[in-house]
């Protein structure tokens, strides 16, 4: 009997030891090291596409570092090792652990989108780095504008060659990864504008240094006369450089993307002259945890997209860039209160009045000393008021550019005076995005697309022509340019069904909307089937014109609009307006938070895009009332 007891005791002791080891390892592997699992309140799953790229290793490091600031947070990491099927299994496994929020950086975007959309129905999803199409399948996107990276790379190649013949090889990541498509699209868009630049060959190296080296080596054996290589990551650029070294080929300019610090990071490679240039931006790992915690804690005003700033790095500016980077975060202003000079577009629409009210209230709420001026839709007045703010030495200037161009000189004056500028609502068509801190507003092109998608759906059963008249906003303003672009490009190409038979500015006002629509009705009469107005006020003017013409707006002639102000929703409710696409004017809190973050030393994203929806006659009426504007 005694022998059995001893054996039983031994068995129990060994089992206990194994259990303790397993608990420690399992707890360590799935936590971020120092998590006391007793205090866990939030569990975030991170689905990483791979950990063979230095960029992704850095991204996970930044996530871990930020997560450690939250004692009530546990993070579980998975590595898909560049396999779509494994990433799907990883995400389902994370769901099985009961995570509260998913952060995902996709392997192949299209392949993962259906699952991400499904997950988004259950828990918040932050898409990190590699965008998925549209706005409907995730909570927040954080990453760079990859098309802009491609365009900037094309511009850098053109500048470096200075008109000389360019025989270029592009090295891409895997097909199906959204940054590959977007960077290549932007790159080719610029290359095609320069007759001296010729894209000789495209190599797919799947983000891998060694694969790039092998494939460029094979290419070089055919003795191509190439003089430029654009690689979509610094790792692949380094591989290309090694291939050139093996063939003892000099003088080929190699450009990469990512700009990581550390040995053989893009910044180091540019400094050493291995790369002629790279494009540096943050991984977004830190921001993903910051926003994830805001989302989990139910904070309001969560943006829809955070577009990270990208900097073009060459031998000339790499040292300064590294110096500036090392100084973040820096306490810029110890002053107790911040003086903000804001100059508004005007008072042309209900949307504008709501925007003004939001800015004034947020300044109060955030304790910012607001100097508010109104340009009354005069570009000259707006620029002159900005110049006055500069003379008054305000701490920061913010404004909504009435039109997309003509502001570069005044922005340079503000920069020379050391006064940061925030763009709110409308945007500028300017290459040098270092002239402003951040731009906060809507995706106007997506708004135009949403309007068109509603029309396509609402008329899919109609066989005959659909004739559309378009009421444009202020000419050359970003909402006008991009709502028009989005709407018209979303209509079927070379459509023999949808025809924009007339398009004219009515300057975002009700009065001009009525005048222009009356002109259209006199000219086209019953031929008009649809009015697409770039804002509610013009739509309301159009509704009055249609009624004066003896027709029923919303029925005889469909009316589509953008803004989703209360007065417009009242007309949707009355059946006179068929749809209004939301454009959020309540930008005050976003703006004040960005300004305060800046003065607390945080680097701001180049663009903050707000969350928006759409309101149609088919919606439940309850959404139409008690709107905030």
Given the complex with ligand GYE, which of 312 and 535 has the nearer CB atom?
535
Given the complex with ligand GYE, which of 207 and 454 has the nearer CB atom?
454
Q: Residue 44 phi/psi, 5° resolution?
A: -110, 135
Cα–Cα distance, 436 to 28 (Å, whole number):
43
Cα–Cα distance, 498 to 525 (Å, whole number):
17
Given the complex with ligand GYE, which of 171 and 562 has the nearer CB atom?
562
Cβ 351 to ligand GYE, closest distance in Å?
3
Given the complex with ligand GYE, which of 104 and 423 has the nearer CB atom?
423
Cβ 270 to ligand GYE, closest distance in Å?
39
Strand ranges in 208-272 using DSSP code E only, listed in sequence order: 228-231, 253-255
Cβ 442 to ligand GYE, closest distance in Å?
6
Cβ 610 to ligand GYE, closest distance in Å?
11
- 441-463 per-residue burial string, b: 16 or more CB within 10 A, e: under 16: bbbbbbbbbbbbbbbeebbeeee
The CA-atom distances, in angstroms, between 345 and each of 80, 342, 379, 383, 388 are: 48, 10, 8, 11, 16
Given the complex with ligand GYE, which of 289 and 562 has the nearer CB atom?
562
Cα–Cα distance, 223 to 218 (Å, whole number):
10
Given the complex with ligand GYE, which of 60 and 535 has the nearer CB atom?
535
Given the complex with ligand GYE, which of 267 and 564 has the nearer CB atom?
564
Residues in the chain: 629
Cβ 454 to ligand GYE, closest distance in Å?
17
- Reduce the DSSP state of residue 289 to 3 states and report it: helix
Cα–Cα distance, 225 to 159 (Å, whole number):
20
Of 612, 602, 609, 606, give the one whose Cα is nearest residue 290: 602
Cβ 611 to ligand GYE, closest distance in Å?
15
SS (H, E, C) 438-493: EEEECCHHHHHHHHHHHHHHHCCCCCCCEEEEEEECCCCCHHHHHHHHHHHHHCCC
Given the complex with ligand GYE, which of 305 and 426 has the nearer CB atom?
426
Cα–Cα distance, 371 to 394 (Å, whole number):
9
Given the complex with ligand GYE, which of 182 and 425 has the nearer CB atom?
425
Of 628, 584, 473, give the one whose Cα is nearest residue 538: 473
Given the complex with ligand GYE, which of 244 and 562 has the nearer CB atom?
562
Binding residues for ligand GYE (CB under 6 A)? 348-349, 351-352, 425-426, 479, 508, 535, 537, 562-563, 583
Given the complex with ligand GYE, which of 154 and 479 has the nearer CB atom?
479
Cβ 580 to ligand GYE, closest distance in Å?
10
C-alpha neighbours within 13 Å on the C-beta side of residue 467: 12
Q: Which two tokens stand for residue 598?
A: 């800046």
Cβ 344 to ligand GYE, closest distance in Å?
11
Listed as own residue / partner, the contacts of 347-350 with beta carbons closer than 8 Å and 24 or more positions apart are 347/374, 347/376, 348/377, 348/507, 348/508, 348/509, 348/537, 349/508, 349/509, 349/510, 349/535, 349/536, 349/537, 349/563, 349/565, 350/536, 350/537, 350/563, 350/565, 350/566, 350/567, 350/568, 350/629
Cα–Cα distance, 598 to 35 (Å, whole number):
31
Cβ 612 to ligand GYE, closest distance in Å?
11
Cβ 567 to ligand GYE, closest distance in Å?
11
Peptide bond between residue 549 and the one before it cis (omega within 30 degrees of 0) = no
Given the complex with ligand GYE, which of 88 and 483 has the nearer CB atom?
483
**In sequence order, what are the beta bridge partners of 47?**
78, 104
Question: Would you give the DSSP letter of residue 625?
Answer: S
Given the complex with ligand GYE, which of 207 and 351 has the nearer CB atom?
351
| Block residue for tokens 């960029």 | 55
Please say whether the beta carbons of 484 and 502 come within 8 A. Answer: no
Given the complex with ligand GYE, which of 291 and 351 has the nearer CB atom?
351
Q: Which two tokens stand for residue 480?
A: 């006008």
| Block residue for tokens 């023999």 | 496
Listed as own residue / partner, the contacts of 3-10 with beta carbons closer than 8 Å and 24 or more positions apart are none
Cβ 353 to ligand GYE, closest distance in Å?
9
Cβ 585 to ligand GYE, closest distance in Å?
7
Cβ 359 to ligand GYE, closest distance in Å?
13
Cβ 609 to ligand GYE, closest distance in Å?
13
């Amino acid at each position: 009997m005694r022998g059995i007891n001893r054996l039983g005791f031994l068995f129990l002791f060994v089992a206990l030891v194994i259990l303790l080891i397993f608990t420690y390892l399992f707890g360590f592997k799935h936590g971020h090291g120092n998590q006391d699992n007793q205090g866990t309140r939030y569990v975030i799953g991170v689905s990483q596409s791979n950990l063979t790229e230095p960029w992704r290793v850095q991204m996970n490091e930044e996530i871990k570092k930020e997560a450690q600031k939250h004692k009530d947070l546990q993070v579980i990491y998975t590595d898909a090792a560049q396999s779509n099927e494994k990433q799907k299994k990883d995400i389902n496994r994370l769901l099985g652990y009961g995570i509260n929020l998913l952060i995902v950086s996709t392997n192949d975007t299209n392949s993962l989108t259906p699952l991400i959309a499904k997950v988004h129905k259950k828990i918040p999803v932050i898409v990190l780095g590699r965008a998925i199409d549209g706005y409907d399948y995730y909570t927040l996107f954080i990453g760079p504008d990859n098309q802009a990276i491609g365009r900037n790379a094309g511009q850098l190649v053109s500048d470096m060659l200075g008109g000389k013949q360019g025989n270029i090889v592009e090295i891409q990541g895997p097909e199906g990864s959204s940054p590959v498509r977007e960077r290549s699209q932007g790159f080719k868009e610029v290359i095609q504008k320069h007759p001296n630049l010729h894209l000789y060959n495209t190599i797919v190296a799947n983000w891998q240094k060694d694969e790039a080296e092998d494939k460029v080596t094979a290419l070089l054996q055919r003795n191509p006369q190439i003089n430029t290589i654009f690689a979509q990551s610094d790792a692949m650029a380094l591989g290309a450089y090694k291939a050139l070294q093996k063939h003892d080929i000099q003088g080929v300019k190699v450009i990469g993307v990512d700009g990581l610090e550390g040995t053989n990071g893009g910044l180091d490679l540019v400094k050493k002259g291995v790369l002629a240039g790279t494009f540096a931006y943050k991984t977004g790992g830190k921001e993903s945890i910051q926003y994830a915690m805001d989302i989990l804690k139910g904070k309001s005003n969560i943006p829809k997209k955070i577009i990270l700033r990208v900097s073009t790095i060459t031998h000339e500016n790499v040292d300064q860039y590294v110096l500036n980077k090392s100084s973040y975060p820096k306490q810029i202003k110890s002053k107790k209160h911040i003086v903000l000079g804001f100059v508004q577009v005007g008072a042309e629409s209900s949307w504008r009045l709501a925007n003004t009210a939001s800015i004034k209230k947020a300044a109060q709420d955030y304790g910012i000393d607001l100097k508010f001026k109104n340009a009354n839709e005069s570009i000259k007045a707006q620029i002159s008021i900005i110049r006055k703010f500069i003379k008054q030495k305000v701490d920061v200037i913010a404004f909504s550019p009435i039109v997309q161009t003509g502001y570069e000189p005044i922005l340079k004056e503000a920069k020379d005076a050391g006064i940061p500028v925030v763009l709110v609502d409308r945007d500028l068509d300017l290459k040098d995005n270092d002239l402003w801190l951040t731009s906060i507003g809507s995706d106007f092109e997506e708004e135009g697309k949403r309007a068109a998608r509603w029309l396509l759906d609402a008329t899919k059963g109609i066989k005959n022509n659909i004739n559309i008249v378009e009421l444009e906003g202020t000419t050359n303003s970003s909402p006008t340019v991009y709502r028009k672009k989005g709407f018209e490009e979303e209509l079927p190409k070379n459509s023999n069904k949808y025809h924009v038979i007339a398009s004219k500015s009515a300057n975002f006002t009700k009065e001009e909307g009525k005048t222009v629509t009356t002109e259209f009705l006199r000219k086209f009469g019953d031929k008009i089937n649809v009015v697409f107005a770039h804002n509610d006020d013009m739509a309301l003017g159009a509704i009055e014109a249609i009624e004066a013409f003896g027709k029923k707006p919303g029925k005889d002639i469909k009316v589509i609009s953008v803004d989703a102000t209360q007065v417009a929703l009242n007309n949707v409710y009355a059946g006179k307006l068929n749809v209004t696409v939301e454009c959020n004017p309540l930008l005050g809190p976003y703006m004040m938070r960005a300004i305060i973050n800046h003065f607390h030393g945080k680097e701001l994203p180049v663009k903050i895009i707000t969350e928006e929806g759409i309101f149609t006659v088919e919606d439940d009426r309850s959404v139409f009332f008690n709107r905030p504007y």
